[in-house]
A = this chain, B = another copy of it.
Amino acid sequence: MKIHDLMTPALLIDGARLDANLSTMASALPGTRLRPHVKAHKCTALARRQLEVGHATFCCATIREIEGMAKVGLEDDLLLANEVLSAERLGVVARSGARVTVAVDSEETIDAAVRGGVGEVLIDVNVGLPRCGCPVERAGGLADKARQMGLEVRGVMGYEGHVVGVADRKKREAGCEESMEKLAAAHREVGGELISSGGTGTYDCNHVATEIQAGSYTLMDTACWALELPFVQAMSVLATVISVSEKFAVANAGLKSIGMDHGNPTIPGARVLFCSDEHTTWIPGLGKDTPKPASMPIPEHWETQKDIRIGDRIHMVPAHVDPTLAYHERAYVVDGEDVVDEWAIDLRGW
């Protein structure tokens, strides 16, 4: 099948570019130095590719992701890097033979792990991002409590989410260092072999973590471009031009096929005006707000031309990969104009 035969909107993954990203990351963080975060892609077929380049430990954000990974046998070491108050479904997965670890940051979440039958935990520590995680000074006490309850405490987790997206590298490094001092302090009180942290933006400057929780590096998005990382854009949403007027054109992919929390998608070579549910209105040809193509880690043929016509196909690059994939049932793996595979986005929902 050719790309042109696909109904649109369609989520495309460029297989060679994905492989390049997987290879770059596996060289930098081989084996268990990376704990790939599947929340970015929600796709067991892609997770299997991560296993094939050497990563057998995975990170999840939802119980459904844990269940789905275990179902296809990617179950050697699954971390739910999130707090839950009902761990019963995780207990079922653990009893089926998977290794399941869950993050805890309070007595309530420790109790939930015990009740649910999950035997292993990480103490989640707040390292600066105003989200989950206990204060550094409570980490040791929570670890004691968990051990008293019969849980195995494998170490600590702490996500420097407030700095992973800082464009200035020096500031990103400094912010990461500050966060990791907190996590190291907590780890001294907690013990255990794991210090789990980081993301795509800090994969090469977080020197405290024993494992990095990165996911976006696989497919990338425009929010990650500012970080000037050695990863290339491997995903796009293919859309069809359905209407062209004197001043603008309209494509049939909108805010129900593209995550919008980081802003509008980019159409290389064009200026996006706005997105509706199933439409994006844009101006063909370079507008003043259009990023310079030279700075875009995209294939050249994605760039749209000025003489756009009804029926043309265009590539849209989302600003945020995670919520984009969560809208799609499947992704098409492409090699140039050929569709070479179809992957289910099978870890959606909760």
Contact = CB atoms under 8 A, between A and B. Distances in A.
Interface of A: 7-9, 39, 61-63, 82-86, 89, 105-106, 108-109, 126, 130-133, 135, 161, 240, 242-245, 247-248, 250, 252, 255-257, 259-261, 273-279, 281, 310-311, 322-323, 326-329, 348-350
Given A82-B242, A256-B322, 18 more contacts: A61-B277, A82-B252, A82-B279, A83-B252, A84-B242, A84-B252, A105-B243, A109-B242, A109-B310, A130-B273, A130-B281, A131-B243, A131-B250, A131-B281, A161-B276, A256-B323, A260-B260, A261-B275
Contacts of A256: 322-323, 326
A242 B63 CA distance: 14
B7 A350 contact: yes
Contact of A240 (B62, B85, B242, B260): B85
Contacts of A82: 242, 252, 278-279
A8 B85 CA distance: 10
A107 to B, nearest CB: 9
Contacts of A349: 328-329
Contacts of A161: 276
9 contacts: A61-B277, A61-B278, A82-B279, A105-B243, A109-B242, A130-B248, A131-B243, A260-B260, A329-B348
A43 to B, nearest CB: 14
Contacts of A131: 243, 250, 276, 279, 281
Given A61-B277, A130-B248, A310-B106, A323 B255 contact: yes
A58 to B, nearest CB: 16
Contact of A327 (B62, B85, B106, B326): B326
A161 B278 CA distance: 13
A239 to B, nearest CB: 11
Nearest to A240: B85
A150 to B, nearest CB: 21
Contacts of A276: 131, 161
Contacts of A311: 85, 108
Residue among A126, A131, A247, A349 with most chain B CB within 10 A: A131
B248 A255 contact: no
Nearest to A106: B310
Contacts of A8: 350
Contacts of A109: 242-243, 310
A245 B7 CA distance: 47
Contacts of A63: 7
A311 B84 CA distance: 9
Contact of A243 (B106, B245, B279, B327): B106
A125 B84 CA distance: 51
A309 to B, nearest CB: 8
B108 A310 contact: yes
A243 B7 contact: no
